[in-house]
Amino acid sequence: MASFVFLYPYWLVAIIPLFILCLWLFRRKNSTGLIAPHLANQLGFNQTKNHKPLSIGLALSGIVAIVALSGPSFQKAEQPSFDLATARVLVMDMSMSLYATDIQPNRLTQARYKALDLLPLWKEGTTGLIAYAGDAYTVSPLTSDTNTLHALIPNLSPEIMPYQGADAASAVKLAIEMLTNAGNHQGQIILISDDIDDREYQEIQALTSNQQWELSFLAIGTEEGAPIKLSDGSLLKQSSGATVIAKSHLSNMQSLSQSTGGVFAPFQHSNSDVELIANQKLSNQGRAKKHSDQQLTERVNNGFWLVPLLLIPGLFLFRKGGIWSVALLFLPLAYPTPSQANPWKTDDQQAYQSFKNEDFQSAAQQFSNQSWKGAAQYKAGDYQSAIETLTPLNSEDDQYNLANAYAQSGQLDDAIAHYQKLLKNNPNHALAKKNLDIVEQAKQQQQQQQQQQQDSKQNQEQNDNASQSQGSDKDQSSQQNKQSGQQGSKNESAQNDRSEPHKGSEKSDSEQKGDHSGSQPKPEPSDENDTQAGSSQARSPQAKSPQAEQSQTEPSQDKPSEGTQLPEEKDLTDPQTANRPSTDSYPEENSKVQQVDPDVRRLEQVESARDPSRLLRAQMLLQAQQRNAPQQNNKKW
């Protein structure tokens, strides 16, 4: 009896109302009939009714029924355990042909969608994931956690594959190895692909013949085909220059699925193709694997042994009217009671139900509790209304939600102030600390962006001012040259006037003027000096520029190695070097290009490390290094 337990002990609570009922019946006085007692005695009638036997019988029957319903158990039974051995591998084609646009927006996008739609429909067993192009690679081993696969599938693309091409046979071979290594001798292989050519058909048929592998296909493509549109907008071309048209051989897929007992589902815009594959069950027996070394121990409900004891008092129900009286007790249960849920709930209760159903807009309108109202407005994305609702409230949760609303609405300063106020009152508020760090980082990034915008604006203004000043310098030098030319012409005319003799003949005057103009030496040195002065004046800012001086004295620090192609565009940030020859601007420009903020460089490295597609590519490259390179075939896309 040490192992005696009640499986459903809450039924024992029913003994209390049973005891009260029996006690009331037991203490109830004997009732009399309508005839007076002295007349009844003379007539020989006994009108008194004794309720004690009824109360005793009801008590005993009720106790037996309650004990039977409570599930008395005094023994255990061992049962063998079974494990559902359904295993499947999802194989996804990642060749370049998935960029074909015969299925909008392209085959790759639809293949991802179909794979994501399949995962929730597989509620039993384990699922693995393989991607293939020129070779096949394991993306995820067999797992019962479909959330892991759900996070990996959107990051698959042809760009991350180590080898381009299409080799579905290698993917089927890898899927069989994955299933076999996990101890499965049968399973399902689901290929989401756009084409299986004749070579792949023969190799896959050789791999799956005389084995318990069911091969199913979800064809993403059409037999008419379409060009392959690359990421830059161009179309993939052959070596001859002809545009590649990616066509799908649906007959090969259908033949393979029929020979292995699988299903073939062409692409449909509805989910009928996905449901067809998900509802496919293994045709072979023995999907449930028995564990002989593991036994499940369960309690046996022995309450059924008390049922015969209830048959004895049940015989008395066959008296006249007894059965019908019991039937009347269950008669009200035959009529369904109308639902009166909403009229008996408060506004907050109805709003809370809407909140649980994620109907936050309706919940925000129904809530009379301001705290819940603000939370519903925050969930609905109405951050400004949430701020107005939560501002008068002083509780810790309300202030935390208020700070979050400020942060989501972009009012970072107010959010930081409320987080700091909250941490001042409760320094151990972990969520407030975490959100404060996030908001401060966002504030710092915002300030950096504003500073960069201001710097770019200042540089633009400097460039404009420099161009204006340079134009004024050119005008000034041209005016100086013009003035020097005029001065030279004046000197020439004055010298001619001084050298003329006092003669009145026009011939002598013209000869003398011609002689003087031909032998005039002074204007030429004057023009040359002015030109040299102008050029020295134009070069003087370059000599005074610290950046130019540094680039001339230390070009080896930032100067690229020989053979490196230098940028052709000039550095316009320095107005003094804007009009220099391109050969003079190379060292300075390269120094500015290579002077990258270390924090920005670290941030780029962190962001690239966070990219799941890069991690998947690194995983595939590691697998590619551990095996031989695939044999090249004629199928490049």
Question: How confident is the model over 308-347, as pLDDT tens digits?
Answer: 888 877 776 666 555 566 566 556 655 555 555 555 678 8
Between vectors from CA 283 to CA 281 and to CA 287, what angle results, nearest 5°? 75
Query: What is residue 417's predicted lDDT score, i.e. its pLDDT?
Result: 92
102-106, 226-230, 430-434, 442-446: least confident range:
442-446
Question: Do the domain assignments include residue 135?
Answer: yes
Q: Decide if pLDDT at 8 tops 80.
A: yes
pLDDT band at residue 204, thresholds of 50, 70 and 90? very high
Q: Backbone phi, then psi, for 184, in 5-degree steps?
A: -100, 130
Q: Which one, of 210, 234, 190, 214, lies nearest residue 96 by Cα?
A: 234
Please indicate, yes or no, whether residues 251 and 167 belong to a single structural domain of this protein: yes
Read off φ and ψ for residue 33, nearest 5 degrees: -85, -165
Least confident of 451-465, 510-524, 622-636: 510-524
Strand pairing report for 288-299 and 76-84:
antiparallel
**Residue 39 domain-assigned (yes or no):** no
Q: Give the residue from 144, 82, 142, 124 showing the smallest Cα distance to 286.
A: 82
Same-domain check for residues 117 and 194: yes
Question: Cα(220)–Cα(117) distance, rounded to whole angstroms?
Answer: 14
Same domain for 255 and 353: no
CATH number, domain at 400? 1.25.40.10
Question: For residues 521 and 221, which has the higher predicted lDDT (pLDDT)?
Answer: 221
Q: What's the distance, CA 573 to chain centroid?
A: 41
Question: Which of 393, 396, 439, 385 is CA-nearest to residue 421?
Answer: 396
Q: Could you tell me which residue, 590 or 84, shows the higher pLDDT?
A: 84
Mean pLDDT score, 118-125? 89
- Domains held by the chain: number: 3
Of 590 and 463, more confident: 463
> 99 with 158: CB under 8 angstroms?
yes
User: Residue 200 sits in which domain range?
Assistant: 87-283
Mean pLDDT of 188-214: 91
| Rounded-to-integer distance, Cα 181 and Cα 175, Å | 10
Query: How many degrees, rounded to 5, is the angle at CA 329 between CA 328 and CA 335?
Result: 80
Provide the pLDDT for residue 525.
36
Let me know if residue 608 belongs to a domain. no
Claim to verify: residue 256 and residue 402 sit in the same structural domain: no
Q: Looking at the domain assignment, is residue 571 inside a domain?
A: no
Segment among 2-11, 82-91, 474-483 with least mean pLDDT: 474-483
Under DSSP, is residue 389 helix (H, G, I), strand (E, B) or coil?
helix
Of 304, 333, 362, the last residue of a domain is 333
412 and 326, same domain (yes or no): no
Asked if the structure places residue 547 within a domain, the reply is no
- State whether 251 and 145 are in the same domain: yes
CATH number of residue 203's parent domain: 3.40.50.410
Is the pLDDT assigned to residue 90 strictly greater than 90?
Answer: yes
Asked whether residue 43 is assigned to any structural domain, the reply reads no
Q: Is the per-residue pLDDT at 446 higher than 50?
A: yes
Residue % of the chain over a pLDDT of 90: 27
Q: Using one digit for the tens of pLDDT, what is the confidence trace for 511-533?
A: 343 444 333 333 333 333 343 33
Residues 137 and 245 in one domain: yes
Complete DSSP assignment for 169-216: HHHHHHHHHHHHHTT-SSEEEEEEES---HHHHHHHHHHHTTSSEEEE
Instruction: Quick: pLDDT tens for 37-80.
Output: 677 677 766 555 555 777 777 788 889 999 999 999 888 877 66
